[in-house]
Structure 1
């Protein structure tokens, strides 16, 4: 067996210690150094954590980084700043959950206007619950075509966490918590993608996409966890929604896990061609999934709704709301609650539709009003209700039979355990027919009721 000479051992030990020291030096460097070669180190530009306001130093550093085309990297710690403008093309990077930019006064922490590209990564922004107007944010972007936010956290916004105006981009793997208004408020968006993020405890809405005039904007809200959305400012449904889309067409809302919304898990107002699919929606305080007012085209499929005032509604034919499918959803455990706009109570409906809608392959259980409802007064046209399972509801399927309603087909459904009837015709809120599941449509024009299984 060959033994190393003492000198060799000493040399090996020195080399090991030198390598260890080099490794320790790498470990002490900012964790983003290797990922961003050539980044400017904020500390060398005068940016140091502490109580002093760093707004001017950060502004100068960002200008230099944009001018040189290099990322600006901030070491861990808390930096107090406010009203810092982001120049076009800048990339600002921190150590995730360790680099914090805290609002030191009124106004946003960071803002940008008219930029083609802005990138933020691995930074926590703290709004300190400093009050702001309804259309302001801890981060504000106007006319920014390419925003990229990755692994960003925004806490305690006094208004919105992120405010976008005529802007587009991608927000991925972010966390928003405790906003006074919404986590994300976009007006007249240019295609916003919010994915794989966590939104907690927003006090009026979780995600709000709004347009001043109806138009397509190709936004995607997908695979997010949204919990405990409040309705601090009240109203009849504008607040209290985990995802709220108004006049924005072509929006895809899919794969989100939504819990405890004061009003709706998803509310689409006058939004054409909206797709609401594969969402988990638990414990909504009012209508869980809602397509309302002057919309055309809504696909609502494969969602699970457990606990809500109403389950799924496609409504407001009187305002031009029409055209949709409700397919393959599971809706259960609905409840009645006080009306928002009058005395008495209401709600308790599993699925409700009015015009040009196919309701197919859904399962509804435990609705204290009706499992599935077609129409309200004269507002009914071209509805089919086929192949659904309705269990343990007060009324299995209800349909409007007011004079002048359009065609409705109720065929091939399984209705079990309905307390008042399998299929009943209504004039507004009053029962107007015997059980049509037993006697057929009874000669009512345009109504077909056949081959339903009643137990």
Structure 2
């Protein structure tokens, strides 16, 4: 938002023109029309669309068809309108008064749907799904094979399926609000370069933003500067639900600068997704691992994030499934806790950073981990890990490293480790301690392990 002497952005100027135009018409003794402030727009009221006048699907469809034919946006004034499965033709621009123009879903199905379009734009509409039940891939707003969809200052509430669904589509979702969706706020499958930025997502009961591909491949989505709060895991499972941002088989995705609070599982989960950047996010009160790159991925950069309150902080894992290659740099991870296992008896978790293969862990600060500050490897799954320049404070074990026969190289050098209750640097065979303290004494004769120049207190 502009402050001081900053110039207003385009949306603010449009809003001022809108309000000024309506006020000017009223002052002149004319009946103010919402379209008066939108030069060239077609006023839906002139096409028989009136608030509170039963189901308006047919009337709105006629108005959209005419507006597109004439190359004009369709303006829908403040009020409540009911509709279902309203088709958005190619080239449609549908404009309402933000938070004042409200469309309610009148029966099962999408409220608004576009298929096979080059471009569709929605601005300033409030869309209410009425909690009518639907599947995860059924949205209040549904785009299928749309090259460029724009949602700007759109509110989507009470979706019985997902809020916004984009199948094989691209475009921009910005400055919008999605609340209380039964499944995801936004579900994208096989996207075409989607940008999701500056939105409020709150109280969605299975996931926040889902970016998925049918088969592993380039996606190119950007998920940035969103506020995502209170993401649930209503349908349970081992981690597919409960994530603020959930990537699956989607490569080349950037997730940055988001403020994420109270996700039942993970703030950002990247599953089988290559070349992912997870940067500068604030992740508070996560129920499981806050930041996760898992299974068959190659290339993950996790940098500059703040994690405060999680079962695990950061995990770059599943070398057994081909998961490898990453950099974990400059993160702050604190206030971790143990919890019950999801797939067996007993409890687990409580780890700051966990890595397995071809990973540099550098310049991070970890405090208050009830198991490991940093843990490298699991059984034989350890290769080419460097742990350097980190600060590890008040953890049960500062740094743990797998030392079973056949593990790859690991370097633990130049870290500051204080207040470790069980040991600063310890070697493990799975869950059992297999070495004396290594933090000061060195690698203990293990050929693949280098330990040195750590400060231990």
State if a TM-score over 0.5 links the two structures: yes
Go from structure 1 to structure 2 and tell me whether the alpha carbon gap of 1:337 and 1:152 turns closer, same or farther (over 3 Å shift): same
> CA contact under 8 A between 1:155 and 1:176: conserved in structure 2?
yes
Secondary structure of the 1:134 match is coil
Aligned equivalents of 1:96, 1:24: Cα separation in 2: 23
Provide TM-score, normalisation by structure 2: 0.94
1:277 is matched with which residue: 276, 279, 283?
279
Query: 2:115 is matched with which residue: 106, 113, 116?
Result: 113
Change (3 A) 1:398 1:332: same
Distance 1:90 1:26, change over 3 A: farther
Question: Contact between 2:35 and 2:42, CA under 8 Å: does it hold in 1?
Answer: no
Question: What SS does the corresponding residue of 2:205 show, helix, strand or coil?
Answer: coil
Other-structure match for 2:166: 164
- 1:282-330: CA deviations, max 9, x gaps? 0000000000000000000000000000000000000000000000000
Aligned counterpart for 2:141 among listed residues 131, 139, 142:
139
- Counterparts of 1:198-347 in structure 2, within 5 Å, are 198-347=200-349
Deviating beyond 4 angstroms after TM superposition, the runs of 4 or more aligned structure 1 residues are: 20-23, 25-28
- Aligned length in residues: 435
Distance 2:201 2:397 in 1: 37
Provide the C-alpha distance between the structure 1 equivalents of 2:362 and 2:330, rounded to a whole number of angstroms.
7
Residue 401 (structure 1) aligned with residue 391 (structure 2): no
8 Å contact kept, 1:32–1:94: no
SS in structure 1 opposite 2:247? strand
Residue 30 of structure 1 and its aligned partner are, at CA, apart by 4.8
* Uncovered stretches (5+) of structure 1, i.e. residues with no partner: 1-19
**Match runs of 1:27-38 below 5 Å:** 29-30=32-33, 33-34=36-37, 36-38=38-40
Deviation (angstroms), 1:26: 9.1
TM-score (normalizing by structure 1): 0.94
* In structure 1, distance between residues paired with 2:448 and 2:48: 77
Q: Is 1:42 matched with 2:44?
A: yes
C-alpha RMSD of matched pairs (Å) = 1.2
Matched, 1:431 2:433: yes
Q: Which residue of 2 aligns with 1:61?
A: 63
Q: Larger Cα Rg: Structure 1 or Structure 2?
A: 1
Q: Hey, what's the Cα distance between the residues in 1 that align with 2:430 and 2:437? A: 17
Please name the residue that 2:131 is paired with. Answer: 129
Cα distance change on mapping 1:22 and 1:181 into 2, 3 Å: closer
Whether 2:389 is the aligned partner of 1:387: answer yes
What secondary structure does 2:285 align onto?
A: strand
Unaligned runs of 5+ in 2: 1-22
Please report how far the alpha carbon of residue 438 of structure 1 lies from its aligned counterpart in structure 2 after TM superposition.
2.3
